[in-house]
Every structure is written in structure tokens, then in C-alpha cells.
Structure 1
Amino acid sequence: MVGTAPRNTGMEGVRGGVGVTALLVAAARAIETHRHDSLAQDDYAEHFVRAAPASADWPVRIQQAPGGDANPLWGRFARYFGLRTRVFDDFLLKAAHTGGARQIVLLGAGLDSRAFRLDWPAGCVIFEVDQGDVLTFKHTVLDGLSARPRAARTTVPADLRGDWAGALADAGFDTRAPSVWLAEGLLFYLPAAAETRLIGTVDRLSTAGGALAYEVKLDKDLREYRDSPLYTATTHQIGIDLLNLFVHEPRPDSAAALEDMGWTTSVHTPFDFTSLHGRGPLPERNDALAGNRWVFAHRTRP
């Protein structure tokens, strides 16, 4: 059982901007954890939420949310994050247990606690790449809980808009070993050129047997959903205007680029996995999730 972390541990890095979205995902994971039909368990998530001044009064159980599951933010949107967590958990564990990957690289790791909550094979190393202030807060909260990772864990402070490969190499990443990569909730916030560089870097640092999962939006104009219940609820209830944080420019076709580089890819809607698991968001009118896609890739060439 996870203990109690100290409150208000000075998470300066998540009081505004993209960093605070990590708290939104943590709150969603906490709500998912306490559901009777939970798809993903994260006992650390609510401690991150409670420790940061920006989110200390947010709900961490669906019963605490106004309107419960009818609340677009803490109902449908939180369910989306819970489903996404489960799907990407499954992808990473399959790559490690059956695909032979022993290096797991979390790009834009945020307040993800996969190193602590998932059942990793012996010999795995988890690399968490993100901004230094986010990683510092995370470290403080987890230390306060006396949390112990289930695999070797290395944090890599780096700006993913720039050259982060050197920092990863300095942290001990081995380009000769099969690796699995995850960019969860990251690419929305990067310029198109940075996404192209990131995908190219993952290819350059990967060997045969490598795997990658990431999330993209295919909407031509995100602003057409500005008045959607999901975006308006997020803005009004917790003061996060996601559309102001997203980069509004044409996105590269990274799946096609990976195919050209010798990867096999599959592209899915979140609703595909709602059908698979029997719970999660379903399509609706004026749907801010309509353009979301989850991409899964495997490198087949040496």
C-alpha cells in the first residue's frame, strides 16, 4: 500500500503551461484507479495531484466530481486517459516480455509511474525523459512515499524540442540493445519540425526488434472543436485551455515516415480500444477526440 506524500512540495514546473497537463493526466489516472471497473491501476497518481498547489483540490475519485460520469472532464475525458494508460501499458509490457526489449524510453514521461507499478522482466531499464522541474517534483513525491521502482530507473532532464539524444546517451542508453519507446500525450505540444526530428532520432537510436507507440491528432483545424464539451469543461473547471497549448500547424505524417525507414505501423482510434475493452469513450457530436490516433510501430530492419 502506498503511504502519504507531503502536500505542496513546490512543484513550480506544473503551475502553468504544458507541465500542468501532467497533473490532469495524474488526476484522471487516480479516478480510473478507484473505479470498480478500472482499466489501469496507479496508486501514486493521487499523491502527485494532492502534492501540487495547482491541483490540490481536484477530484481523485469520480464521486468527488460535480455530476460524476456526466462531467465531460472528469467523466469522459478522464476515461480516455484511463483507457490510453491501459493500452500503452499493454504495449510496453508485451514489447518487454515477449519482444525482448530491455530498454524502455518514456519521452515526455510527465508524472507517469510505470517504473513503479508495472511488472517488468529482470534486466529492464526505464529511461524517463522530460523537463527537469517535472522530474524533480516527481522524485520528491515518490521519495516521500518511500516508493521503490520495479526496474532500474534513470531520469533524463531534457527538452524534447531540441537535441535530447546526447542526454539519453550520457544516461547510459545503449543503441545496440532493443528498445521500446513511448510518446504519450507529447506530440500535440511540439512543432512539426520537432516531431520529425524526434521520430528520426528514435529510428537512429533503434535496432531491429525496437518498438514505438505514440499519440497524434489528425484534425485539420483543432479550433473547430473549441466549443466542444471536453475543451470547455477543461477550461472552466481547472483553467487549462488545451487549445492554447497545442501547436496549430500542419502535422507531419510520421507513420508514413516510419514505414519508409523500415518500420511496420498500425494506426487506431481510441474508440477501437473502447470496443476491445468494453469501456472508455464513444464517439459523440462535436467530438474533440475525433482526430486522436494511437500509432504502434515495430522496426523490422537492422
Structure 2
Amino acid sequence: MASTALRHSAGGDVEGGVGRTALLVAASRAIETHRRDSLAQDVFAEHFVRAAPACADWPLRIGEVPDGDADPLWGRFARYFGLRTRVLDDFLLSSVHAGGARQVVLLGAGLDSRAYRLDWPEGCTVYELDREGVLAFKHEVLAGLAATPRAARVPVPADLRGDWAGALTAAGFDPAAPSAFLAEGLLFYLPGAAETALIETVDHLTAPGSALAFEVKLEPDLLEYRTSPLYVATHRQIGIDLLGLFAREQRPDSAGALAARGWHTSVRTPFEFTREHGRGPLPESNDALEGNRWVFATRPRA
């Protein structure tokens, strides 16, 4: 159980604005964990939700949702997050086990518990970049569970709109060694210029043999989906106005920019992975997920 100090200090950093979306993802991962046909296991996720008073009535199992999988938020959207978790877990594990990277960087780490739950090789370090309050909240919850990371874990308090590269290298990151970067559910909250700067920074920080995965939205006008059941349900049921949080300007072509710099890139739809895994969201009318893309990039070895 979270302490009173936790509930009234660090917890506030994840209960408002973009920080609240980290709790949405945690609740979704908890629901996914308890499914009989689970795509990803995160035994820590429900503890983050329980530690935040504003989420006390959120479901943690699909059986607690009156409409079950028919619910646009806790059914379809939560399953999307479960699928995304599985796909990006696989990407990171492939990058370290097959690709040989021993540095993993989670940009906008939020309540990501991958340092604690994935099978990392010996000598692997996981750097978690996010706001100080978010990292403190996560640390207190995990410390209360006596959880032990399965790799060297290095929290890096940083604003991703500022000099986060300096903070990362000061924390021990070596740009000359292969690495795997992940920006999960991050870029569409940033202005286009900030996304471009972030991608350029990753390019400058990575050695041959490195990898990067990130998520983007390609809709030319997000407001065309303002009546999407997914957006409406998220706003009505838990008070998160995603369209109010997303940067609604035209997005840069970050995958194209990396390709122009010599990276090998692959742009996939989530629905491709639904078909690959046999479960997850499929396209529907007025679909807020229609423009979502998952980008995977590798920097060839010389």
C-alpha cells in the first residue's frame, strides 16, 4: 500500500495532464496481465494505479468492466496498449539479445517497469528519462514492493524538450557503444520541432548497431476523429482529453529523416501485429487508431 507521503507528493505528478496518461497505460497493462490470452505480463502495473488516489475506481481486470471488451476504453484501447507493450518488449529484447546492444534508453519512461520484468542479458543498463516527479512516484511504489531490477537501472530526471542528451551522458551513457532507444506513446504530445530535435539527438547519440522504436500519428487533422468512441470514452470515463493533450500541428516525417541519414526503417500499423498475434484491435469506422504507426529503425554496422 502506498504511503500517505507518496499519495500527496510524487503522486501528483502522474495524476494530471500527460502524466495521467501513464496511469491509463498502467491500468491497461494490468488488465492485459490478467487476461487468459495475455499478450504481455506486467505484475507491477496495478500497483501504480492503486497508489494514485484519482484512479481508485479504475478497473484492473476485464471482468470488472460492465461491457467487457465492447467498452471502447477498457476493452479496445486497453487491448491496444497490451499489444503495443508486447511488440515493443519484443523489439527491445531482440535489440539486446540478437543485436548486441547493452544500453537501453526509455524516453518519456513514465511507469514503464521493463527494467524489472524483462529478461535482460548480463551487463545491460536501462536508462529511464522522464520528469523527476514521475520517476520518484515509480521508485516509491516499486521500493514498497521490494522489487529488484533485472538490469542496472539508471533514472535520469530530464525534460525531453531541453538538454536531455547532456543528462543522459552525465548518467553514464556511452554514445560510442550500441544502444536501443524507445519512445513509446511520447512523440504525439510534443510540438513538431521538438520531435525533430529529439530524433536528431538520438541520431547523434547512437553508434552503428543501434536501434530505435517510436510511435507516431499520421492523421492530417486529428479533430476529424473527435467523435471517435475511443476518444469520447476516454474523456467521459476517466477525464483524459487526449485531443487536448496531443500537438495538433502537422507532424514531421521522422521515419523519412532517419532513412535519409542511413538508418534502415520499417513503418507498421498496429493492425498488422493484431493479425500476427491473433488478438488486438482491428480497424473500425471513425477509428482514432487509424493513423497510428509504429516505427522501427536500425543503424547498420560499418
Same fold (TM over 0.5): yes
Kept in 1: contact 2:15–2:23 (CA 8 A)? no
**Greater mean deviation of Cα atoms: 144-153 or 161-170:** 161-170
Kept in 2: contact 1:162–1:194 (CA 8 A)? no
Structure 1 counterpart of 2:14 = 14
How far apart are residue 66 of structure 1 and its match? 2.4
So what's the TM-score if we normalise by structure 2? 0.97
Structure 2 counterpart of 1:99 = 99
How far apart are residue 5 of structure 1 and its match? 5.0
Structure 2 counterpart of 1:111 = 111
So what's the TM-score if we normalise by structure 1? 0.97
Kept in 1: contact 2:187–2:216 (CA 8 A)? yes
How far apart are residue 123 of structure 1 and its match? 0.3
Kept in 2: contact 1:5–1:145 (CA 8 A)? no
Q: Which amino acid aligns with 1:101?
A: A
Cα distance in 1 for partners of 2:67, 2:236 equals: 15
Unpaired segments of 5 or more residues in structure 2? none
Cα distance in 2 for partners of 1:69, 1:113 equals: 25
How far apart are residue 65 of structure 1 and its match? 1.4
User: What are the equivalent positions in structure 2 for 1:234-273 lying under 5 Å apart?
Assistant: 234-273=234-273
Cα distance in 2 for partners of 1:219, 1:208 equals: 32
Cα distance in 1 for partners of 2:66, 2:43 equals: 23
Which secondary structure does the structure 2 equivalent of 1:285 belong to? coil
1:230-284 Cα distance to aligned partner (Å, 9 max, x none): 0000000000000000001011000010011110000000000000000000000
Structure 1 counterpart of 2:298 = 298
State the superposition RMSD in angstroms: 1.0
Structure 2 counterpart of 1:165 = 165
Cα distance in 2 for partners of 1:15, 1:28 equals: 16
Which secondary structure does the structure 1 equivalent of 2:133 belong to? helix
Deviating above 6 A after TM superposition, structure 1's stretches of 4 or more consecutive aligned residues are none
Cα distance in 2 for partners of 1:227, 1:221 equals: 13
Structure 2 counterpart of 1:233 = 233
Which secondary structure does the structure 2 equivalent of 1:9 belong to? helix
Structure 2 counterpart of 1:205 = 205
Q: Which amino acid aligns with 1:119?
A: D
Structure 2 counterpart of 1:132 = 132
Cα distance in 2 for partners of 1:88, 1:15 equals: 25
Q: How many pairs are equivalent?
A: 299
Q: Which amino acid aligns with 2:215?
A: E
Cα distance in 1 for partners of 2:175, 2:286 equals: 44
How far apart are residue 300 of structure 1 and its match? 1.4
Cα distance in 2 for partners of 1:151, 1:16 equals: 30
Cα distance in 2 for partners of 1:31, 1:238 equals: 16
1:23-46 Cα distance to aligned partner (Å, 9 max, x none): 000000000000000000000000
Cα distance in 2 for partners of 1:55, 1:106 equals: 24
How far apart are residue 6 of structure 1 and its match? 4.8
Structure 1 counterpart of 2:70 = 70
Kept in 1: contact 2:34–2:61 (CA 8 A)? yes
Which secondary structure does the structure 1 equivalent of 2:215 belong to? strand
How far apart are residue 9 of structure 1 and its match? 2.8
Which secondary structure does the structure 2 equivalent of 1:78 belong to? helix
Q: Which amino acid aligns with 1:113?
A: S
Unpaired segments of 5 or more residues in structure 1? none
Which secondary structure does the structure 2 equivalent of 1:127 belong to? strand
User: What are the equivalent positions in structure 2 for 1:144-223 lying under 5 Å apart?
Assistant: 144-223=144-223
Cα distance in 2 for partners of 1:158, 1:284 equals: 38
1:86-122 Cα distance to aligned partner (Å, 9 max, x none): 0000000000001000000000000000000000000
Q: Percentage identity across aligned positions? A: 72
Kept in 1: contact 2:220–2:250 (CA 8 A)? yes
Which secondary structure does the structure 2 equivalent of 1:54 belong to? helix
